[in-house]
Every structure is written in C-alpha cells, then in structure tokens.
Structure 1
C-alpha cells in the first residue's frame, strides 16, 4: 500500500519542482496530457479483453452488480450535490462554458476509445502481458505533467496536500456509500457486513475484487470488481459533461480514482484548481479501502 502511494505521489512532486514560464510550452503540455489520457483508455480496453470468464455464477454476479451499482450511485448522487451548493468549487471557465454537445462528444470519444481497445483485444485474442506496465508508465508521466501544471498555477503544497473540501467530499462518499450498501443488503437479503464491505470499494476495482473474492468467494469478488469498474467508466462520462456545474459531485463520484486514473481528465476538463480537491479526496478514499473492507470482513468471524 505504501509503495503504491509513493508511486502516485513521487512523479507529482517531481513535476512540481519544475517551473515553466513559457505559455506555448504549457499549452503543448496540456495537449500531450490529453493525448496520454486517450492512450491510457485504449490500454484499459485491452486489459479488459484479457479478463477470464467469470464462470457459472455470471447471472448472480449481474444481479449483485445491478443492485449495488444503482444503490451506491443513487446514495452518492443524492448527497454529493449538497457540497456543490454549500461549498462551491470554482472551475476553469474556459472548460465549464463548453456547450453540452461538445462535452457529450468528448465523453463519447472516451467510451469509443475504451471500446476500441476492448474490441481489438477480443477479436484478435491478444496476449498482452505488457499492458499493465504500459499503463503504469503512462500514469507516471501524466502525474509528472500535472505536477508541472500545479507549480505554474500558483497553488502551494499546503493547498495540494491539505484541502478541507477534498476531506468533506471523501467523508460524504464514505457515509453515502454505506447507506447504499445497507439498501443493497435489504434488497439482496445478504449479511450487512458483507454489503458494507462491498460498499467500501470506492472505485478501486482491482483491490476490491481481490479482497472480496478472497473473503467471500468468486461471486462477491467478481461483483465487487465490476461494480467499481462501472463506477470508473461512468465517471469518464460524467466528468467532461458535469464538472463545470457540479465539480464536487463528479470528483466525489469518481472515488479513489480521482487521485490517479481520472485525475488527468478532471484537470483537463475542470481546470487545475480541481486537482488539489481531487487528490485529497482520492487519497483518503484509497487509504481507507483496504482498512474498511478488511474491518467489515473481520466481522464474519
């Protein structure tokens, strides 16, 4: 876990050490960042194509995914807009004033890129062990560029590492996710501790799937993986379309991914002022995923 956090923050901090005064260079940097986002999405599609068949329990998994995804999303999106109302976050006006059609087109392009990678991987039956490493290198480079942009927007390290708004978003996400988990437990008639464990994934699909699968079997593991993966995919659609009007809502719904995978998209569509909020919120949620999941799992014994 600690090594994972160092992987996330090291390139960001190193990038922050670079001061770039040339506006043309900064504009080119923004363009490269956007292109890297598309590359990462395509690689994610390839990685999805390499997943093993989830087996005979697919129908039950789909039922779990449907109920949890709706319950968690409804609870999150019911309360997160209250933060936008009472603690508004100013976004970059050049992004927030884009026509809705342009935002929708941007979201569609993102989904098409992911789908293209998935389709290519399935049709060609590619064995691509290098995809995960490639995504890690791309992510490091993206975070390095974001660090440079942070340095040149006037934000201090204190604003980046300690942000009350980010803390508030994380707290609301945790509480509302648990509320959604309780609703899912009632609908599916499963133990509350299992539902709360599943509700504590906060978008970290790889870890959530592993922990739940190890504790409660392949149905819970597969469902947890898909629930959090769907959160990430929906976030890719929501962020370009809604971040100008509901930045806290979109950052919060992205969950733990707001500090890594969706961070470049948050920055490019909402402006650099959204970055400290996203980092703090995502960091808190990332740290708490294993802690909270294992706590609820321990209640089984």
Structure 2
C-alpha cells in the first residue's frame, strides 16, 4: 500500500506540472530545462548525503560490498542482454517517438561520459559531506523527497511544452513489454552469478527483484529473516542506480533509448527520469514513467515470492 501511495504522490506532482505548463507564470522551455538541470544535481547531492550517513563499519562493508557490487552489475548486464535480444527480434527499430535532440546534434560518447562523471561527482561530494560535516546530520531525509517532487513537477511541465501525443503512446505495446523484459533480465542476471556466493535460486532472485528500489527491497528481505542479505539487497540496488547514472546518457546518446530506460529499473519513473528525458528526448518520458511504475508495483510482490523458495 505504501508503494502505491508513493506512486500516486509522484504522479500528482507530475500532473501538476503538466497542468501549469500553459499558465502565464510558467517558464519558457529553455528556462524549464535549466531548472531541471539544477534540481537534478541537488537531488544527487542529497542522495550522496543519505548514503554517507549510513555509518557502516569496515567489516560490514567487506562482508556485503562484493555481493552488492556483483549482483548490481549482473542485474544491469541481464537487462541489457535481454533488451538487445528484444530489439533484435523487433527488427532493430528502437522507436518512432519524438526525440529531444536531432541526430546531427547528438553529443559524442566522450562528452556524454564526462556528463555522467560530472553528475556522479555530486553523489561523491554528498557522501563525503554526509560523513565529515556535522550539519549534514541535520538535513532530513524528506529534503531529498521534496526535491524529487519539485523535479517531477518541472518534468511534467516540460512534457506538455514538448507537445507529446499521449493517446498514441497508450497504444504502444512497449508500455507493457519493456518493463517485463527488464524484470526478466534483471532476475536472470542475478541467478547467473548466484553460484559465486553459494546462494539459492530463490535468494538470488529476491536480491535481484528490487529493480533499483533500494529503500524497499532491503527492508523486505531483512524483515523476512536475513538482515545480512537485506543489507546486501540495499547495496545491489544502490549499485544499479549508480551504474545507471553513467549508462543512461551514453545509451541515449548512442540511439538506444529502450536500453537507457531499462538500466534504470524502477528508478526510471523518478530519480533517473531526468536523465532519460535529457539523453533520449521528452518523447520517452511517458514510456520511462510507465516502465518504472510497473516495476515498482512488482517489487513488493516479487521479493517475498522469490524468498519463499530460498
């Protein structure tokens, strides 16, 4: 129920921005783009601060760090592999949606990599601040939440200013197919590396079924009786989200928007949504939201289901 309520709140802010897009006080499209860029960096900073305040000791990090890194990478690998297969079966036609930047103006891969590194630098600065600055402990976790709400408000505004045809998008089978393939690839990726850590198929599938939603899957597994794997699940999804920060601009710039959306997992409807919008175009925002929303709804069901086979 909590996940559904959170989803409704996110959609409310997105819808509020859409309704305000045509009002007299709405910024021009270029102004909205600048505002989104600033808010995104603030959000990444808050995310880093939250990580820095976790306070895990060296022994705990050594125990679960490798597991989180390998499984997080494996879920990304499985997603990319399955979506490449899907793209091949569909004839290699990525999309006919309206793109946010023309082919001739597409930035080079080198520039996109530097953009990704620049964004990730805000996370690193936040982690350091969360560990060493006394006032960082005074920043409530809700600060990041409200920053995300503001971000979605302006993304909704940008969607309306981009004149997206929502009716035609609702007829697109990818609205359902893309998240299902992402889920299947993520889970299979985790199962493939499970022998490295002597985990059962059920445990591996449960660890992989968070789809980047680290604030929920880790709590679910801890409550199901294994706090150690619960901490690992947190890191698995944190690693996935961090890798997505690098990969989304690169994949979007290379003309692979479905892969860019897929690597973000459940975060494609919120945290990584701005990266999808700027890298792939505003026309992919509805698909990205639908992708993340469906995966988010699956997490509270799939994690306990797979854990039952552990």
TM-score by length of 2: 0.88
Q: Could you tell which deviates more after superposition, 185-194 or 122-131?
A: 122-131
Task: State the partner residue of 2:307.
Answer: 297
Alpha carbons of structure 1 residues 75 and 294: separation in structure 2 relative to 1, 3 Å: same
CA distance in 2 between partners of 1:198 and 1:159 (Å): 36
Task: State the partner residue of 2:46.
Answer: 43
Q: Could you tell which deviates more after superposition, 82-91 or 165-174?
A: 82-91
CA distance in 1 between partners of 2:23 and 2:15 (Å): 18
CA distance in 1 between partners of 2:32 and 2:248 (Å): 21
**Equivalent residue runs for 1:63-74 within 5 Å:** 63-74=66-77
Contact 1:84 1:247 in 2 (8 A): no
Contact 1:69 1:227 in 2 (8 A): yes
Q: Could you tell which deviates more after superposition, 105-114 or 213-222?
A: 213-222
Contact 1:239 1:266 in 2 (8 A): yes
Aligned-residue offset at 1:253 = 0.8
Q: Could you tell which deviates more after superposition, 243-252 or 283-292?
A: 243-252
Task: State the partner residue of 1:15.
Answer: 17
Contact 1:45 1:118 in 2 (8 A): yes
Task: State the partner residue of 1:147.
Answer: 156
Secondary structure at the residue paired with 2:137? coil
Task: State the partner residue of 2:94.
Answer: 88
**Equivalent residue runs for 1:116-127 within 5 Å:** 116-127=125-136
Secondary structure at the residue paired with 1:273? helix
Aligned-residue offset at 1:219 = 1.7
Alpha carbons of structure 1 residues 127 and 98: separation in structure 2 relative to 1, 3 Å: closer
Q: Could you tell which deviates more after superposition, 278-287 or 160-169?
A: 160-169
Contact 1:185 1:195 in 2 (8 A): yes
Task: State the partner residue of 2:34.
Answer: 31
The alignment status of 1:232 with 2:241, answered yes or no, reads: yes
**Equivalent residue runs for 1:153-164 within 5 Å:** 153-158=162-167, 163-164=172-173
Contact 2:249 2:260 in 1 (8 A): no
Contact 2:75 2:240 in 1 (8 A): no
Contact 1:166 1:281 in 2 (8 A): yes
Q: Over residues 230-278 of structure 1, what are the superposed CA-to-partner deviations in whole Å (9 max), with x where a residue is unaligned?
A: 1111111111222132111111010000001111121122210110110
Match of 2:269 among 253, 259, 281: 259
Aligned-residue offset at 1:212 = 1.4
Unaligned runs of 5+ in 1: none
CA distance in 1 between partners of 2:165 and 2:19 (Å): 12
Contact 1:159 1:276 in 2 (8 A): no
CA distance in 1 between partners of 2:152 and 2:243 (Å): 22
Task: State the partner residue of 1:2.
Answer: 4
TM-score by length of 1: 0.91
Alpha carbons of structure 1 residues 80 and 112: separation in structure 2 relative to 1, 3 Å: same
CA distance in 2 between partners of 1:10 and 1:27 (Å): 23
Aligned length: 300
Task: State the partner residue of 1:271.
Answer: 281
Q: Over residues 18-66 of structure 1, what are the superposed CA-to-partner deviations in whole Å (9 max), with x where a residue is unaligned?
A: 3438997111011001110001011111111100315744433123224
